[in-house]
Amino acid sequence: MKSITIKGSKRESVGKVATKALRNAGMVPCVIYGGDKPMHFSAPELAFKKLVYTPNVYTATINVDGQEIAAILQDIQFHPVTDRIIHVDFYQLFDDKEVTMNIPVKLTGTSPGVLNGGSLRFTNRKLKVKALPANLPDFISADISKLKIGHKLVITSLFNDDYTFMHPDNTVVVQVRTSRNASADDLGDDEEEETTEEGAAEETTATE
């Protein structure tokens, strides 16, 4: 996984007055957990632009007064009115310790169901995985090239030895639903069964 470097300085004081002064100077109070003790530091607000305002996921290399610490973004707080970043929490990474992260899903291929007028429902754009830091992927690839109308891609189809999904096996990642413009020739098994049942029900009602 790609990493972004953030340079900061240790905070000598963590009180409200010192924190306010930092924010007024365009700095963000931060803390790194996971080590022997929390490390408090501050960094320029602009340093978080590529880490926060992006659909991608990165680890962070925190450089505090020359000391480099590998970490992941754990929590971020924004000002309720201005949306400026007011506090950031990081969690320190260790090579031999698994961590949990939300990883974006990237769709590949073209769904024949969509080409025939079906509606693509991308229900889980990020998935929570657990892995060693070295095995964290930049994204999870989901191939939709075999999805016909009525078909779905569940999480077991995305199995990978490098990481473990923290979701039930039947979690739906993406599916193709029928629509008014859908071609009947491409209906999947699920949609065919639903159509047959609906037609039978209508026929029974008409007979009665």
CATH number of 100-192: 2.170.120.20
Residue 17 φ/ψ, nearest 5 degrees: -65, -45
- Name beta bridge partners: 77: 87
pLDDT of the residue at 193? 45
pLDDT of the residue at 54? 85
Tokens of 122: 């991308």
Question: Helices (DSSP H) in 31-127: which residue ranges?
Answer: 49-52, 112-115
Name the strand (E) or helix (H) holding 22: helix 16-24
Amino acid letter at 176? Answer: V
| Domain spans, the chain | 3-93, 100-192
pLDDT of the residue at 158? 96
Tens-digit pLDDT profile for the chain (208 aa)? Answer: 889 999 999 987 777 888 888 888 999 999 999 988 999 999 999 999 888 888 888 999 999 988 999 999 999 999 999 999 999 999 999 999 999 999 999 999 999 999 999 999 999 999 999 999 999 999 999 999 999 999 999 999 999 999 999 999 999 999 999 877 665 555 555 544 444 444 444 444 444 4
Which residues neighbour 29 within 8 Å (Cβ) at sequence distance 6 or greater?
Answer: 11, 14, 19, 22, 23, 40, 42, 86, 87, 88
Residue 82 φ/ψ, nearest 5 degrees: -90, -15
Specify the length of the chain in residues. 208
pLDDT of the residue at 183? 57
**Residues 1, 104, 28: CA angle, nearest 5 degrees:** 70
pLDDT of the residue at 184? 55
What's the whole-model pTM score? 0.77
The superfamily CATH assigns to domain 3-93 is Ribosomal Protein L25; Chain P (2.40.240.10)
pLDDT of the residue at 145? 96
- 29-44: b or e for each residue (b if 16 or more CB lie within 10 Å)? bbbbebeeeebbbbbe
Query: Strands of 126-131's sheet, edge to edge?
Result: 140-143, 99-108, 126-131, 164-165
